[in-house]
Amino acid sequence: KAGKAALDSKVDCSQCEENMEELDERMQELQSQISGQEQHWNNMQQQFSDAIEDKLDHLELKAFRKHLEDSWNRNMEELEDRLLHENAAGIKKQLPVPFSCLSCDHMLS
């Protein structure tokens, strides 16, 4: 009983309930703001989508997509070829002309 009496003196239940109600009201306000922003976002997305549909000619878009896919496939094939043909531990590079040895300064070809 002594612990309960000490607890009653430290925690005011009515104040706790008021704080919880205030917190609940704030949460509801935030939720309504978020839903309003989500609705605004959906409206803007729809307007953007409509504008894109009005501006783009689908035949041009298909040609552009095909061009991008062809370019992508070509680049991937080149990369695969390069990776398959380079089996050495290092990559052979052309030396700049004229090139001299670092240790003896003798000209190399």
0.85 exceeded by the pTM? Answer: no
Between 13 and 68, where is the model more confident?
A: 68
Q: At 79, which amino acid appears?
A: L
- Per-residue pLDDT band for 53 (boundaries 50, 70, 90) equals confident
Between 83 and 11, where is the model more confident?
A: 83
Please determine, for residue 95, whether its predicted confidence score (pLDDT) is greater than 70: no
- How confident is the model at residue 71, as a pLDDT? 92
User: In the structure encoding, which two tokens stand for residue 62, read together?
Assistant: 């298909």
Q: Is the CB of residue 95 less than 8 Å from the CB of residue 108?
A: yes
